[in-house]
Structure 1
Amino acid sequence: MMKFILIPDSFKGTLSSEQICEIAKEKVEKHFPGAETACVPVADGGEGSVDAFLTALGGSKVSVTVKNPYFEDMESYYGLIHEGKTAVIEMASCAGLPLVEDRKNPKLTTTYGVGQLILAAAESGVEKIIVGLGGSSTNDGGCGAAAAVGIKFYDKDGKEFVPTGGTTADIAKIDLSGRAKVLDQVEIVTMCDIDNPMYGPTGASYIFGPQKGADEAMVEELDAGIKNLSRVIAEATGEDISQVPGTGAAGAMGAGMIAFFGSRLQMGIQTVLDTVNFDEMIKDADYIITGEGKLDSQSLRGKVVIGIAERAKKQNKNVIAVVGGADDSEIDKAYEMGVTAVFPINRLPQDFSISRHHSKENLGYTVDNILRLLAAK
């Protein structure tokens, strides 16, 4: 019996990874009736990550009342997989940009709700928590999340407060001693696909602040606050993590995950592959079909297609990449890294503004033709 592994990333703005899996699976069943098909939709840690893991592995979604970006109560959730042993949290579910709508202001928003989700998951008895960063409305360096699990922040007058993006500059001391003990029993992994440092020209505030509502003056203010937070974290922990790649992710939440939660930052695709036990899954696979919106130099840094190809190469497996577009100058490198073949889906010389509306059909035609060729062997 033939076995196909379908493990695509989304085509941003056109097709979700779940939709791609559905289309590809339908074509596999058409050309290879009775074939075994494993669907693993990939999410990058942002909105939809919990659902992607639940689709791939089964499990349940748990509702929790937490604080939204403006400290208001809201219903959020986390996912439970691996028979309740692993929790999956997406930061966007309670600190995401869509939740602030026309109230964008990274000086005022908080990650407090994310900490509440982490604590709720830990208290449920899980052994591991996966936290997805992405799509945040915040720039507080994870201080809100830290406060939610018992870490205390003090200003120069010794007054305790919960820092937001606009008050990280006021932090004079951090007391880690009150952190919830239950967290000591849990492994925490953070999905993080960017390598920005905490502060500076390529840091959290300058690169991501504007999309969260910060003007030029506010960006400078936010950056100064994160720089101060970095200094106080170093005093409290004895480690300067400011230049660790990824610490600037999600308003410097990457830094907060390391400093306050003892987490390691890991590329999203590696987290997904570990979680679904990919190496074991592909042992008897004939073909692995993956893809992403565009295969380019960014892909070669370990994004979805290359992350999968490098693992599959160790077992000499065939990896077919179906992509929205491809940079020809990078394809040879992709082949060297384990990709067997690359197929862009666009069938006519059309501008993306037109072709994006035909992505579903174009993907279906492309996968259909690939499978026709495989079936004719």
Structure 2
Amino acid sequence: MTHVVLAPDKFKGSLTAAEVARALAEGLLAGNPSLRVTCTPVADGGDGTVAAAVAAGWTFVEVDGTGATGRPVRTAYARRGSRAVVELASVVGLATLPAGLEPMGASTFGLGTVIGHALDGGAREIVIGVGGSASTDGGAGMLQALGVRILDAEGNDVAPGGAGLRTAVRVDLSGLHPAARDAHFEVACDVDNPLLGPNGTTAVYAPQKGASAEQLVELEDAMTRWALLVGTATGRDDCAVAGAGAAGGTAFGAVSVLGATIRSGIDTVLDLIGFRDTLVGADLVVTGEGSLDVQSLRGKAPVGVAAAAGQAGVDVVAVAGRRALSDSQLHSAGIRMTYTLAELEPDIHESIANAAELLRRIGRTIAETSTDFVTARMGEEA
């Protein structure tokens, strides 16, 4: 029996990773009912990371949080034993903003409240997926929620967001959540930007969060001041650490104060869901995301899935809304064949609206050719 593993990421703005996998599975089984199909939706550390863990059997834990602009939100994290997976995007991400972008005042405070809830519940190994941030505050809000005080010249707590950090003169770590001192933190991200400079978090990502040219100068000043104050408090200088600039510098705060390590988001997720164990006995892996483009080659989910499958000797095909990569680029990434919704429905609005049905059609097509991959691999092995 041919075993197909479905490991797609979300189709942003259209379907979740689980919905993509479900539609493909329905198409595959309609085309060939004898197939064995396993659904393992994935993520790259951004939105969908908690959902991927829950789909793999982790416990879903709902909690009240605070959005990037202080608005109450209902969010969740995943839990398994003493391990927890927390997702920035679901509590203080761009999608949670109620009324437009807030480049100066948006904060990661709500992320810290979720981490605190996990610590209070006994979690001592915490993965923080940091994609999709709405703020540029260097992780200051996250740390404030965990008991760190950031004080101005009058001894008052600074205002939320990057703007508030411009008045900071001292960081007091004495009130840090006791459990955070003994816990191990891992930041899952897919960027390598440092905190400061022309490739830093402000220059590269703050414009996407609505910052004007003048605000970019202010935010870079704030991040520079923040880095100096944190360095004074911790005795560390992590400004140049690759990935410290992830999520508006949230990774910097996690590394410098919480002692976190930074790791590729997709590699982290694949470990969390036991993906390599799922590959045992698999004949074909189907991965994908909304757009296969140059960003996909920089650590996005499909390329990470393809790398893991390639190491296991399993062929990989990809599905996408559209693709902007050549066959040679895809083959170099370990993707043998690609199917796109655009080939079936060129109108992007119709493609998005009917993504599930188009994926079912693609699933049927893959089902009709799945045995070809098995036969070809057996020939190569012979």
8 Å Cα contact 1:144/1:162 also seen in 2? no
- In the alignment, what sits opposite 1:33? 33
- In the alignment, what sits opposite 1:78? 77
- In the alignment, what sits opposite 1:106? 103
Paired with 1:143 and 1:351, the residues of 2 have a C-alpha distance of: 43
Aligned length: 373
Give the C-alpha shift of residue 138 in structure 1. 1.9
TM-score normalised to the size of structure 2? Answer: 0.88
Deviates more, 1:313-322 or 1:35-44: 35-44
Paired with 1:343 and 1:139, the residues of 2 have a C-alpha distance of: 37
- In the alignment, what sits opposite 1:134? 131
User: Aligned ranges for residues 1-377 of structure 1 at < 5 Å?
Assistant: 1-33=1-33, 35-54=35-54, 56-80=55-79, 82=80, 84-102=81-99, 104-161=101-158, 164-329=161-326, 331-347=327-343, 350-375=346-371
Amino acid at match of 2:300: K
Give the C-alpha shift of residue 218 in structure 1. 1.9
Which consecutive unaligned segments of at least 5 residues does structure 2 have? 376-382
Deviates more, 1:143-152 or 1:100-109: 100-109
Paired with 1:314 and 1:190, the residues of 2 have a C-alpha distance of: 24
Paired with 2:315 and 2:267, the residues of 1 have a C-alpha distance of: 19
Q: CA deviation digits over 1:329-358, x for unaligned, max 9?
A: 3x3243234323223333358353454344
8 Å Cα contact 2:288/2:318 also seen in 1? yes
Paired with 1:323 and 1:99, the residues of 2 have a C-alpha distance of: 26
Give the C-alpha shift of residue 115 in structure 1. 1.0
Q: CA deviation digits over 1:291-331, x for unaligned, max 9?
A: 122333322222212211212222211111122233353x3
Paired with 1:99 and 1:297, the residues of 2 have a C-alpha distance of: 27
Amino acid at match of 2:230: I
Amino acid at match of 2:7: I
Paired with 1:257 and 1:223, the residues of 2 have a C-alpha distance of: 19
Give the C-alpha shift of residue 161 in structure 1. 4.0
8 Å Cα contact 2:315/2:336 also seen in 1? yes
Q: CA deviation digits over 1:70-128, x for unaligned, max 9?
A: 44554433222x3x332221213332334332264232232222111111101211242
SS at match of 2:162: coil
Paired with 1:325 and 1:16, the residues of 2 have a C-alpha distance of: 16
Deviates more, 1:208-217 or 1:245-254: 208-217
Give the C-alpha shift of residue 220 in structure 1. 1.6
Give the C-alpha shift of residue 162 in structure 1. 5.9
Q: CA deviation digits over 1:25-51, x for unaligned, max 9?
A: 112323443543221212333334322
SS at match of 1:223: helix
SS at match of 2:343: coil
Amino acid at match of 2:86: I
Which consecutive unaligned segments of at least 5 residues does structure 1 have? none
Paired with 2:147 and 2:325, the residues of 1 have a C-alpha distance of: 51
| TM-aligned CA distance change 1:48 to 1:304, over 3 Å | closer
Paired with 1:232 and 1:3, the residues of 2 have a C-alpha distance of: 54
| TM-aligned CA distance change 1:252 to 1:4, over 3 Å | same
Q: Which structure is higher in RCO with an 8 Å CA cutoff and minimum separation 6?
A: 2
Paired with 1:232 and 1:189, the residues of 2 have a C-alpha distance of: 23
Deviates more, 1:204-213 or 1:247-256: 204-213
Amino acid at match of 1:339: I
Amino acid at match of 1:180: H
SS at match of 2:219: helix
TM-score normalised to the size of structure 1? Answer: 0.89
8 Å Cα contact 1:163/1:171 also seen in 2? no
- The percentage of counterpart residues that share the same residue type is 33
Paired with 2:351 and 2:34, the residues of 1 have a C-alpha distance of: 33
Paired with 2:71 and 2:348, the residues of 1 have a C-alpha distance of: 40
Amino acid at match of 2:30: K
Q: CA deviation digits over 1:190-237, x for unaligned, max 9?
A: 221223322333332333334434332222211210111122223333
Paired with 2:75 and 2:295, the residues of 1 have a C-alpha distance of: 32
